[in-house]
Amino acid sequence: MSLAIFDLDNTLIGDDSDYLWGQFLVDQGVVDKDQYEAANARFYEQYKQGSLDIVEFLAFSLKPLAEHAPEQLYQWRGQFIRDIITPILLKPARQMIEKHRAQGDTLLVITATNRFVTEPIVQLYGIDNLLATTPEQIAGRYTGKFVGTPCFQAGKITHLEAWLTETGESLQGSWFYSDSHNDLPLLQRVDHAVAVDPDAKLAAYAQTANWPVISLRGDDCPEQHFLHWRK
């Protein structure tokens, strides 16, 4: 049995849930369309380029959580999951997860996107273990701030190491599936790094490092590759 770690956005789902949540808030009229949409697009482009200031972005993305009652937020989130996320769940991703589950591997999703957005998405895949950026709550309401270290770039390693200590799991024989060059620090730490529909920077690095490169955007998971890697 090994630890199978998965990134979420553009890996297990066919888009970026953080960006889509922002667009959902725009479409619902929750935030100012022109200002928020432009900022959301700018931050997303910075993320893709590897220049994102995660603290600045979190101040932006978590602010709407502080401006509304939790009951209203959960209602919006339920609609978001149903209307926006469910259509972009990936059948091959589910198949890959189930292959690891059948092998007895421990399943873990680690994502920079905040827990409010990602927890119900991860539950749709039947995965119990989630490491994500945690929005702060005081007296049952979100404050617009975050707790601890953002789960982003090297911060993913910080979160993972704390989780390994807490659970007694190890990285021996571990796997990590990701689409993004932002995850290179963690990809370099596991025994089996897999680039999934990678961005250009990760694709180039994967080729140099001789990492498998796969796509989960088709009808079925690349089983022949999975079986090869297990040997």
pLDDT for position 225: 52
7 as an active site residue: the answer is: yes
Three-state secondary structure call for residue 194 = strand
Question: What is the DSSP secondary-structure string of 160-193?
Answer: HHHHHHHH----TT-EEEES-GGGHHHHTTSSEE
pLDDT tens-place string over residues 180-199:
999 999 999 999 999 999 99
The question of whether 105 is a catalytic residue gets the answer no
- State the pLDDT at residue 226: 52
Pick from 110, 117, 112, 115: nearest CA to 134: 115
Q: What is the pLDDT of residue 218?
A: 79
Q: For the chain, which residues score pLDDT lower than 70? A: 221-231
C-alpha pair distances (Å), 61 with each of 23, 185, 207: 11, 24, 34
Query: Which candidate, 50, 73, 51, places its Cα nearest to that of 62?
Result: 73
Which entry of 9, 16, 18, 199 is annotated as an active-site residue? 9
In a 3-state reduction of DSSP, which class is residue 69? coil
- Catalytically annotated residue among 7, 16, 18, 197: 7
Q: In the CATH hierarchy, which top-level class contains the domain 3-230?
A: alpha beta
- The residue extents of the domains of the chain are 3-230
The pTM (predicted TM-score) of the whole model is 0.93
| All residues at 6 or more sequence positions from 210 whose CB lies less than 8 Å from its CB, including other chains | none
How many C-beta atoms lie closer than 10 Å to residue 193's C-beta?
A: 24
pLDDT in tens, 107-142: 999 999 999 999 999 999 999 999 999 999 999 999
| pLDDT for the residue numbered 231 | 42
3-state secondary structure at position 12: coil
pLDDT of residue 1: 86
End-to-end CA distance of the chain: 13
pLDDT at 119: 98
